[in-house]
């Protein structure tokens, strides 16, 4: 990324992506948008055991939705499930153990799930930022395998099931970091040049935005959207970007603030009045 593009993005981030940016945007939110009863609707959320995914699952469960948590670590997933159930008083919370970086595992899970379950909304939240180039067992660069290919396979595999229900939606948690990157289709595995985790992650998030636009044009029956959660204080940020977290800790959004737009896109009637395929920040669409 160029120094200029990065600097402009960071200044924008300080104004809009922080806790104060959310609080300013929230003054214009319509509170009634989230006053919904989600009983009878099923939500699949990847990476739902912590951070934005868990906060999103909590909000939806509290409104009566059935939750399918797709997680990699069974212990952390079960602990998160117990907390969500306890706080929401909603017993319809289910755990599925899937490694989103494994193409075969994701495909097999989606096929099996579709045979015996209904899904109304898919929330593609799982992601990773590995700062050194690492390959999966299938020989794929791990960030791309998780963030892009895993998201693509799960969404594609569930499209037939989504088309069978009323008001189907797919929401993908992208990142404003993708604004620092133009799409580069010549090196999807990041085999050339210096490997930089934040750049790779931003490329993956740009790819998710492009996929959302393409899916929307191909599958008119489903409402697709993607969103930027802002800079939130999550375990992933603490682990993957420790220096950024240390410097920005007091300015970061809460996990619930980060998940607010994902919840809004998943449950509100207002969201589906927007065209399919758009990128959202704080409940507003803008051109990425």
Which residues, at least 6 apart from 256, have a Cβ–Cβ distance to it below 8 Å?
Answer: 55, 58, 59
Please tell me whether residue 83 adopts helix, strand or coil conformation: helix
Identify the pLDDT of residue 179: 76
Which residues, at least 6 apart from 206, have a Cβ–Cβ distance to it below 8 Å?
Answer: 178, 181, 182, 183, 288
Which residues, at least 6 apart from 216, have a Cβ–Cβ distance to it below 8 Å?
Answer: 222, 223, 224, 275, 276, 277
DSSP state of 61: H
In this predicted model, what pLDDT tens digit does every residue of 59-118 receive, in sequence order?
999 999 999 999 999 999 999 999 999 999 999 999 999 999 999 999 999 999 999 999
* CA distance to 19, 114, 263, per residue, from 26 (Å): 10, 37, 14
pLDDT of 232 > 90? The answer is no
Identify the pLDDT of residue 178: 76
DSSP state of 178: G
Active site residues: 201
Q: What is the pTM of this model?
A: 0.92
Whole-number percent of the chain with pLDDT over 90: 74
Rounded mean pLDDT of the chain?
91
């Amino acid at each position: 990324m160029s120094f200029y593009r990065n600097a402009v993005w960071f200044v924008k981030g300080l104004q809009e992506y922080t806790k104060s940016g959310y609080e300013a945007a929230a003054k214009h939110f319509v509170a009634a948008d989230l006053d919904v009863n989600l009983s009878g609707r099923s939500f699949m959320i990847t990476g739902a055991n912590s951070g934005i995914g868990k906060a999103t699952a909590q909000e939806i469960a509290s409104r009566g939705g059935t939750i399918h948590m797709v997680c990699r670590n069974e212990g952390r997933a079960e602990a998160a499930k117990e907390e969500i159930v306890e706080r929401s008083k909603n017993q319809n919370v289910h755990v599925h153990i899937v490694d989103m970086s494994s193409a075969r595992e994701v495909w097999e899970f989606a096929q099996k799930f579709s045979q015996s379950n209904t899904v109304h909304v898919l929330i593609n939240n799982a992601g990773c930022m590995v700062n050194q180039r690492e390959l999966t067992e299938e020989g794929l660069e791990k960030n791309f395998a998780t963030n892009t290919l895993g998201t693509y396979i799960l969404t594609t595999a569930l499209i037939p099931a989504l088309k069978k229900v009323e008001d189907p939606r797919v929401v993908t948690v992208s990142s404003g970091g993708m604004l620092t990157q133009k799409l580069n289709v010549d090196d999807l595995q990041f085999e050339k040049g210096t490997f930089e985790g934040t750049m790779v992650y931003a490329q993956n998030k740009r790819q998710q935005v492009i996929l959302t636009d393409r899916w929307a044009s191909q599958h008119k029956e489903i409402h697709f959207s993607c969103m930027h959660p802002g800079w939130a204080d999550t375990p992933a940020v603490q682990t993957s970007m420790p220096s950024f977290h240390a410097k920005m800790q007091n300015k970061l959004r809460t996990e619930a603030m980060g998940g607010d737009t994902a919840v809004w896109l998943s449950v509100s009637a207002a969201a589906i009045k927007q065209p399919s395929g758009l990128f959202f920040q704080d409940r507003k669409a803008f051109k990425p």
